[in-house]
Amino acid sequence: MPFIEVKNLEKIYRSDNVVTPALRNISFTINQGEFVAIMGPSGSGKSTLLHILGFLDRQTTGEYRFNGKTIDDYSKEEIAHTRNKRMGFIFQAFNLLPRTTVFENIKLPLLYSDIKKSQRDELALKAIESVNLSHRINHEPSQLSGGEKQRVAIARALINKPDVIFADEPTGNLDSKSGQMVMEIIQRLHEENSHTIILITHETYTAEYAQRIIKIFDGKVESDTKVNHRHTARDHFRK
């Protein structure tokens, strides 16, 4: 059974008498542990698709199954629990609390969990180490570079050990060097922990860190191909 299954998915926005199709008859499957890039230009529908996959929005027609269940099979409480415990999100804008340390930002997803405080601290420290930011643990976001902020966001997404990580244009606000570093960390974490990763990007170079690229254009799947020549993490990021 596929971990993620999308079948004849459509999303239509209606405003007054204007009908705007964002996704048109999209179908694909993603297996557990895959690293897949969904690639397309601005306005192609890729972020709309991510919002549906992450239970942040609903499709108009068609079917989306997450681990064998559709969103209609979940109660509101189960949807919230699934987003918090089984899904991790990395956004282009980082979404960090401004006057809060790296350590506290990373612990945020555990705020309403039943994990003991001492264990929360331990999990946060491990997540910080995994993105090479132990030397910034007590810094606030204003004291960090763009690349460091995104690494904090990655650590926060990892702390609950989610089944899937959704990365929405994670290099979009970064220079090329920082972007490369962030992608190498994401790739290394995938290789070491077998997370399912779904990357949204408009950049071919960034997409080629994945194992497979699904290209979307005008709301439709244009191609779905394996990456034959993947970019790989540099040696000094390997353990």
Mean pLDDT for back-to-back runs of 10 residues, the chain (239 residues): 95 91 96 96 93 95 95 91 90 90 92 82 92 94 94 92 93 90 90 90 94 96 94 53
Residue 16: the pLDDT is 85
d(CA 92, CA 105): 16
Of 226, 232, 205, nearest to 214 by C-alpha is 226
Residue 203: the pLDDT is 93
What is the end-to-end Cα distance of the chain in Å, rounded?
Answer: 33
Residue 233: the pLDDT is 63
d(CA 63, CA 188): 32
In the chain, % helix, strand, coil (3-state, to 5) comes to 35, 30, 35
Q: Decide if domain 33-62+76-238 falls under CATH 3.90.180.10.
A: no
Do the Cβ atoms of 233 and 186 come closer than 8 Å?
Answer: no
Sorted by where each begins, the domain ranges of the chain are: 33-62+76-238
Do the Cβ atoms of 219 and 22 come closer than 8 Å?
Answer: yes
DSSP one-letter code for 143: G
Residue 167: the pLDDT is 95
- Please state whether the predicted TM-score (pTM) of the whole model is above 0.85: yes
